[in-house]
Amino acid sequence: MHWRNAYRDARITEWLHKPGYHRLEESFHPEHYRMAYVSSNQNMDNRMEVLHRITVAFECKPQWFKKSGDLPINVSTSGKSLLNTGEDAMPLITVSGSGEGTLTVGDCVITISSIPAKGIVIDSELQDAYSSDKLKNLNTSIKVKNNSFPVLKRGKTTISFTSGIKSVKIVPRWWDLL
């Protein structure tokens, strides 16, 4: 990495030392990003306070996440199909409505006993349900058939819902192996 702005030194160093995985984008695959962490010690070469150079090694998860998979898809009528052209994805689903309802994502059936006023979030990756403000765990408000959270499999997945569910917002988290 090269840059010519000395004021960025602290910001870049701070970014490189953050623990855990973070989004890494690169110009060879502009429609994708990876989750990565810095795996090497970095030594910044500061040349005359004008040009800075650093060599960094990253450890990456194998998935190449599609940027389009981070955009929410609003489902306001039951029976809408989503088309996944990549690998099986673990969606983030927000359900709005009131009372109780049943959400079906492909072959996954989720019974919701009580939908809070601000909605309920079902996170397939975390295998968790919580309030939309993330302040309250709502796992006791849902029953997932076969204890298997929704997966958007390759191909078409139909989204349907009943009763008190008014709409569903899905962040699909599409990804590929490149």
Residue pLDDT, tens place only, 114-167: 999 999 999 999 999 999 887 899 999 999 998 899 999 999 999 999 989 999
Mean pLDDT of the chain: 89
Domain boundary among 14, 42, 61: 61
14 and 47 housed in the same domain: yes
The torsion angles phi and psi of 57, rounded to 5 degrees, stand at: -110, 135
pLDDT of residue 31: 97
> In one letter, which amino acid is 147?
N
Both 35 and 92 in one domain: the answer is: no
Torsion of CA 56, 28, 71, 62, to 10 degrees: -60
pLDDT at 6 over 80: no
Q: Of 61, 81, 104, which residue sits at a domain end?
A: 61
> If pLDDT is split at 50, 70 and 90, which confidence band does 16 have?
confident
Q: State the Cα torsion 130-157-178-35 to the nearest 10°.
A: -10
Q: How far is CA 2 from the centre of its chain?
A: 30
The residue segments making up the domain with residue 142 are: 68-176
Q: Do 137 and 86 belong together in one domain?
A: yes
- Are 117 and 49 within 8 A, CB to CB? no
- Domain boundary, last residue among 61, 78, 93: 61
- The residue written with tokens 């968790």 in the block is 128
- Tell whether 82 and 156 lie within a shared domain: yes
User: What is the number of domains present in the chain?
Assistant: 2
3-state SS assignment for residue 29: coil
Percent helix, percent strand, percent coil in the chain, to nearest 5: 10, 45, 45
> Does 93 lie in the same domain as 53?
no
Per-residue pLDDT, 146: 84
Question: Same domain for 80 and 25?
Answer: no
Is the CB of residue 69 less than 8 Å from the CB of residue 92? no
Residues 171 and 84 in one domain: yes
d(CA 95, CA 74): 10
At 50 the pLDDT is 60
- CATH at residue 100: 2.60.120.860
Separation of alpha carbons 38 and 15, rounded Å: 10
Same domain, 105 and 135: yes
The answer to whether residues 105 and 46 belong to one domain is no
15 — pLDDT class (breaks 50, 70, 90): confident
Residue 2 pLDDT exceeds 60: no
33 and 75 co-located in one domain: no
pLDDT tens-digit profile of 28-80? 999 999 999 988 766 666 665 666 677 888 999 999 999 999 999 999 999 99
Q: For residues 122 and 170, what is the distance between their CA atoms, to the nearest angstrom?
A: 10
Residues 74 and 51 placed together within one structural domain of the fold? no
The pLDDT value given to residue 41: 67
Tell me, yes or no, whether 172 and 122 share the same domain.
yes
Smallest CA-to-CA distance from 173 within 140, 142, 155, 151 is with 151
